[in-house]
Structure 1
């Protein structure tokens, strides 16, 4: 019997353990892991490997019997190149935290993590994250990495187009992202409100969900006349976690 090719999957999260207490979005994304007891690696690079962020991850995932959690620090890296590659390629889910998108990309490239994540993605590892951890997968993103909100035409490019996190839930996000897309500073893309999440398979949207009815996912594209179109994507409301 032929072996099925690995699926290329990634998820944009508008929530999770770092800002929500109910675990709904975390349970949803982990439910898409390729194994029933997945290895889940947290990358806190965008926060400078902040200890408080690592502690939150371990508090949320450390005692769960249905997964095998781990943390990959890069500011105090312990693994050599071979061990780093073996470790990342063994993960079923890579969960990237929020923080500074530009710094995250720079640090990953210094350590070769960008190449390893592409390899893991090609082998079927589910990639996901919130804020900077959502921005990083696209061709470009909307970010406050440099202070004021601006466009960043950089990313791993695993997801075509651009990403804007915290859409309509942080002041200035929506008009600034819309202006960047309309001006051609960013390609069209996905705007994620806090509380919503989206799964992509092979670069195509395959599921959109929300933990709160008011939170949504939007597709924003230039209209070819100097303006843009914005479409709210239907989202499935998730049930409360039974954990």
Structure 2
């Protein structure tokens, strides 16, 4: 039997920052490696916005089964050794939305990119919404620079590209399809709002939705002749837990 922990990450099309029902966060926590996981929120992409942090703590601080924390980098207080120990102790790292390009730049300045790779290799579940989903892939579809564009940059923990808000933001779907068709972005995963996708060692192992009809799509270039092939993957509908569930 191998002692190597599975490497897992989750892309979220919702969660505490957009949904009131908590269904996608419930699904996420079901995949934590321990029944009472330490969950660290990284609001870097929003510039460590206080309101975002407060919303996370309000959502996760009331869960008896969770030990929540927040890592601020814009007012960093931890030295390098303490920062490493703190991140490697987390069971789940949850990354918020905002500016993908800024997020990556700040992480690299502080060495957080390297620490997250190490945590991932040790079995920490990495996840996030919007920019917090984009960051794990090789490349992403982003509005970090204003207009929608291709960002051929990321941590590369997930092969290919990611596009969030596939159904809810004007221009997202045609722009991402065009980028994949032209080769500006590699084949990848597009998430409509209300969905979640879990990857284990780089392969999709589960897709869910809290909104019937919302999709997780695989988008690939068609050769020869251009164009793209878009395939919706089967999604399990997540439901509220029965009364009495913690």
Q: What's the TM-score once normalised by structure 1's chain length?
A: 0.98
1:238 maps to 238
1:221 maps to 220
Deviations 1:74-120 (A, max 9, x none): 00000000000000000000000000000000000000000000000
CA distance in 2, matches of 1:209, 1:132: 19
Alpha carbons 1:22, 1:241 under 8 Å: kept: no
Runs of 4+ in 1 over 2 A off after TM superposition: none
Comparing 68-77 with 223-232, greater Cα deviation is found at: 223-232
2:173 maps to 174
1:27 maps to 26
1:127 is paired with a residue whose SS is strand
CA distance in 1, matches of 2:158, 2:28: 17
Q: Could you say what the CA RMSD is over the residues aligned between the two structures, in angstroms?
A: 0.9
1:160 is paired with a residue whose SS is strand
1:114 maps to 113
2:205 is paired with a residue whose SS is strand
- Equivalent runs, 1:48-87 vs 2, <5 Å: 48-87=47-86
The CA deviation at 1:4 is 3.0
| Number of positions where the alignment pairs a residue of Structure 1 with one of Structure 2 | 242
CA distance in 1, matches of 2:25, 2:52: 15
The CA deviation at 1:173 is 0.3
Deviations 1:40-80 (A, max 9, x none): 00000000000010010000011211010000000000000
Structure 2: gaps of 5 or more residues: none
1:210 aligns with 2:226: no
1:174 is paired with a residue whose SS is helix
The CA deviation at 1:165 is 0.1
Deviations 1:158-181 (A, max 9, x none): 000000000011110000000000
The CA deviation at 1:3 is 6.0
Q: What's the TM-score once normalised by structure 2's chain length?
A: 0.97
1:189 maps to 188
The CA deviation at 1:183 is 0.4
Structure 1: gaps of 5 or more residues: none
- Equivalent runs, 1:10-49 vs 2, <5 Å: 10-49=9-48
